[in-house]
Amino acid sequence: MDNNKHLIYWTAGLSIFALVTHVIDAPDHLAEWWGYGTFFLIVATFQFFYGFALFIRPWRFDGEGNLRQNADRYGRPFFILGTTLTGAVIVVYIVTRTTGMPFFGRDAGVEPVTVLSLVPILACVPLLYCQAVLLHRTRNQSAKVA
């Protein structure tokens, strides 16, 4: 059993939880503007596939389908992707609540902080932490991947 198995499962569960919170919040954003709702649905879709991939951990297997020793080092690029995108979601939240999003040809202004808007971010913060820990744990192993 590898050292990161439980942490990977926690990260997967948090990703799925973040998916659910984004789906719950998406209709409000769709009503406000289709671009916001679409963003929420894209984020939710990524979080679903990311969480699912963490549960099955396809990088554990080599080309012949055999289990690898120290397989999590092969998952490092996946951990980098997840950490980057989860961090971006948190940054977008902060920007939309402080200065607004003047992108996409529409000046949306500053969005209010509500309980419903906080729930997805409260799911993403521990998700980001778990992803960062996975990255840290696999940092020295990545040089050994051949």
Sign of dihedral through CA atoms 132, 137, 141, 146? negative
Which tens digits make up the pLDDT trace of 54-99? 999 998 898 888 898 878 788 899 999 999 999 999 998 898 888 8
- In the chain, the amino acid numbered 76 is R
Is the distance from CB of 145 to CB of 74 less than 8 angstroms? yes
CA dist 130 and 9 (Å) reads 10
Domain carrying residue 10: 5-144
Q: Above 50 in pLDDT, residue 18?
A: yes
- What is the count of structural domains for the chain? 1
* pTM attached to this predicted model: 0.84
